[in-house]
Amino acid sequence: MDFALLLVVAVAITGLIWLLDLIWWRPARRARLTASTEAGTTEGIDPAAREKALKDPWPVDYARSFFPVLLVVLLLRSFLVEPFQIPSGSMRPTLEVGDFILVNKFAYGLRLPVTNTKVVELGEPERGDVMVFRFPEDPSVNFIKRVIGLPGDHIRYEDKQLYVNGEPVPKRLLEAGPPGEPDELLLEEQLGEVAHDIYNNPRDPGPQVRELVVPEGHYFAMGDNRDHSNDSRYWGFVPEENVVGKAFAVWMHWDGGLPSFTDVRGIH
């Protein structure tokens, strides 16, 4: 279900009903009441009856009530901040399943809802950003991964080591077999100016990526859970027109029990 499309349709319908009432329907109701009064058919009409005659029909009443709320939600969600829930473990340990995140919608430029067409240039994704985008193979599905390669970058991934433009990306071991993950290595990776944690499984050879060049207008993205992530190593590059925004905060965690607000944090 495309929530953005439903929201746009709801705003259009409620706004149109409200507008039609302001321009035609309400003046027509008042004109009919005035004509009846002047003809003497409503002589002695009590205030309650007059109020009832002037009362908005229920569709107009609902439209007038919901239109401003829906419009504000549409503007906030389309151009400022949009919430998402993390459905998989591909970004662990940075993001856990059940984390509710906030995504900055203007960090990479303002885009129209539904079509995702960029109308205002404000910035571009940077190496190390945690980015939400529309899955190239199914744009109705949103993915979240870390930006590894920018347009023109040379990317290689061999034997668990990431190379960007011929240089190995620095990483250091933090813990072998961290709690709950006995088969994983917890490492800190330094991707440009961004230091972040990743998981590697030494028993899983994983995909090997021979050196490739990121095309113009595209990005190479990988999950922090390197051996459990469906990312650019498997399906290719992220087109610029699929970019949704930059994830910047976790505001709630909910895994089916009671929602938790104790782990509110920024995303790096």
Which residues are known to be catalytic? 90, 145
108/243 Cα distance (integer angstroms): 8
Peptide bond connecting 207 to the previous residue in cis, omega within 30 degrees of 0: no
Q: Which of 234, 233, 238 is nearest to 219 (CA)?
A: 238
244 membership: H or E segment, kind and range: strand 243-253
175/184 Cα distance (integer angstroms): 9
Place of tokens 């995702």: 116
186/201 Cα distance (integer angstroms): 9
> How many CB atoms are located within 10 Å of the residue 165 CB?
13
Secondary structure, 3-state, 16-55: HHHHHHHHHHHHHHHHHHHHHHHCCCCCCCCHHHHHHHHC
First-to-last C-alpha distance (Å) of the chain:
30
171/56 Cα distance (integer angstroms): 66
Q: Do 145 and 128 contact (CB within 8 A), yes or no? A: no
